[in-house]
Copies of this chain bind each other. A is one copy, B any other.
Amino acid sequence: MNQPIIQSSTRADEAFDCLQTAIVTGELAPGEKIGELELCSRFELTRGPLREALGRLESRGLLVRRPHAGVKVVSVSASELMELYRIREVMEGLAARQAAERMTDKEIRDLQATLDTHEKMIEEAKGQAYYQAEGDYDFHHRIATGSRNTKLAQMLLGDLYYMVRMYRYRLSTSAGRPHMALGEHRHIVEALARRDGELAEFLMKRHINAARQNIEEKIKEGVLTI
Contacts and interface: CB of A to CB of B under 8 A. Distances in A.
Contact of A83 (B48, B80, B152): B152
Given A58-B56, A59-B60, A67-B9, A151 B90 contact: no
A10 interface: yes
Interface in A88-143: 89-91, 93-94, 98
A89 B93 CA distance: 12
Contacts of A151: 61, 80, 83-84, 87, 160, 163
Contacts of A30: none
Contacts of A48: 48, 51
Q: How many copies does the complex hold?
A: 2
Contacts of A58: 56
Q: Chain B CB within 10 Å — which of A56, A59, A67, A68 has the most?
A: A59
Contact of A53 (B55, B91, B155): B55
A198 interface: no
A87 B83 contact: no
B94 A86 contact: yes
Interface in A141-160: 149-152, 154-155, 158-160
Contacts of A192: none
Nearest to A54: B52
A200 interface: no
Given A52-B51, A86-B98, A91-B91, A154 B61 contact: yes
Contacts of A94: 86-87, 89-90
Interface string A165-205: 00000000000000000000000000000000000000000
5 contacts: A55-B55, A86-B98, A87-B94, A87-B149, A90-B94
